[in-house]
Amino acid sequence: MSRMLIQGGRVLDPACGHDGPADVLVEDGRILEVAPGIVARDAERLEAAGCWVAPGFVDLHVHLREPGQEYKEDIASGGRAAVAGGFTAVCCMANTDPVNDDPSVTDYIRDRARQDSPTRVYPVAAATKGLDGQVMSEMVALVQAGAVAFSDDGRTIMDSGMQRRVLEYSRLVERPVMVHAEDRSLVRDGVVNEGPTATRLGLPGNPAAAETVHVARDLLLAELTGAHLHVAHVSTAGAVELIREARSRGVHVTAEVTPHHLTLSDEATLGFDTNTKMAPPLRSREDVEACRQGLADGTLDAIATDHAPHAVHEKEVEFTTAPPGVIGLETAFAVVMELVRSGCLRPMQLIAALSSNPVQVARLPGGLLKRGEPADVVVLDPERSWTYDPLKGYSKSRNSPWAGRELVGRVVATVVGGDLVYHVDRGALLP
Ligand SMILES: [Zn+2]
């Protein structure tokens, strides 16, 4: 019997509505008790004085790059980056090589994760074969192999009839369809948000309408089919408003937003830093504010990193040719803590957006600190400041807009299934 006592912290557990001082006793991988002043002399102790103790974070949107692009990231390195960021589970996107459109690939990812990753890994399977938007993937077989959702992320299903069929079939397997909503015919060769910043940079613009057009279409198709639509990485005020309105009339829609779209506007791109190039692009200040408001009022459910590792040689090129995307697992908590300090979110709302809400979106186990639940727990120091150096991080890649920045808020310890897998003073510990 193994026991751990997480002692002296402030427990923030949105699903149980619990905010207050308490100890957490873990036994054999599960939560045994949450209460103040627990005495357990035989237990391993994890000090949490001055810290928040919360359900482990769950990231709905990461790119682990394995199989096929292990020079950018693999399941082991991405898993270590995840636990260093407080994530006890991640959902990995299907745009690997080969694409995760076949149960053999889903099996491979799960096997590798079991052996090599300290975080739990839930594969998201492709909605269409080869992500080409032409032939639907075999959803039943993929779910049987362990897929938790469907997405052609990185691409958008442009054919509305195909999107309708994907949504219809997703109902049979009761799994969400996660959409990367960007109309390719509107994006064209746009690499930054269309507007004054693009003009100043002399770079081709990607209009906000490229996103809102597809969010509008997909909300209508979700309404038509009754399926669960999940909008990935919302970046525009228009999309937030459309989602808010659709929810109010009962459409089954959930949505996520990234730390970068919550905190950086397109002005961050004025220095031509390719680590500010994403898809969708960083948007206007008004869009950033709308995303923050959407998270605060519950229109957007989850914060997801869209962790997208790329090698140095790929990013150190002209802005127009660099691949879009940034890493984000190890900085997410510190970056979004700014929303609490600025009064946009209460601590409990922030924790919900990182843990219990994403668990509900993807229908995963856990997400709460209740007796009998898996002991996936994170200990956080909301005040601790640190300077982020990607070279000292666990991701194989370094493409972060926060490199060299001083951040406030630090993950102190991460526990997965009762095992201490990361401690800020000891590093990643398992496997
Ligand atoms: Zn995407």
> Which DSSP string corresponds to 330-386?
TTHHHHHHHHHHTTSS-HHHHHHHHTHHHHHHHT-S--S--TTSB--EEEEEEEEEE
HSE-CB of 61 using CA atoms within 13 angstroms: 32
pLDDT attached to residue 383: 97
Residue 74 Cα to ligand 1 midpoint, Å, equals: 19
**Phi–psi pair at 254, nearest 5 degrees:** -125, 170
Strand stretches in 3-75, DSSP E = 3-13, 18-27, 30-35, 44-47, 52-55, 57-62
Residue 140 Cα to ligand 1 midpoint, Å, equals: 23
- Report the candidate in 214, 41, 307 with the shortest Cα–Cα distance to residue 7: 41
User: Cα 224–228–234 angle (5° rounding)?
Assistant: 105
Residue 325 Cα to ligand 1 midpoint, Å, equals: 9
Residues of the chain with pLDDT under 50: none
Q: Which of 306, 376, 389, 425 is catalytic?
A: 306
Residue 280 Cα to ligand 1 midpoint, Å, equals: 7
Residues whose CB falls within 8 Å of the CB of residue 220, separated by 6 or more in sequence, listed in order: none
- Report the candidate in 57, 114, 116 with the shortest Cα–Cα distance to residue 87: 57
pLDDT attached to residue 1: 73
Residue 328 Cα to ligand 1 midpoint, Å, equals: 14
**Phi–psi pair at 177, nearest 5 degrees:** -105, 120
Q: Can you state the angle between helices 103-116 and 75-84, rounded to 10 degrees?
A: 60
pLDDT attached to residue 287: 98
pLDDT attached to residue 189: 96
Residue 26 Cα to ligand 1 midpoint, Å, equals: 36
For 204, the enclosing helix (H) or strand (E) is none
**Tokens encoding 191:** 């690499």
CB 378 within 8 A of CB 414: yes
Residue 27 Cα to ligand 1 midpoint, Å, equals: 38
Q: Can you state the angle between helices 208-225 and 160-173, rounded to 10 degrees?
A: 50
Using CA of residue 161, residue 324, residue 276, residue 61, what is the dihedral sign? Answer: positive
CB 323 within 8 A of CB 275: no
pLDDT attached to residue 431: 75
306 is catalytic: yes
Quote the pTM value: 0.98
Residue 186 Cα to ligand 1 midpoint, Å, equals: 16
pLDDT attached to residue 417: 97
pLDDT attached to residue 159: 97
Instruction: Write out 374-397 in H/E/C secondary structure.
Output: ECCEEEEEEEEEEECCHHHCCCCC
- Residue 117 to residue 77: CA distance in whole angstroms: 8
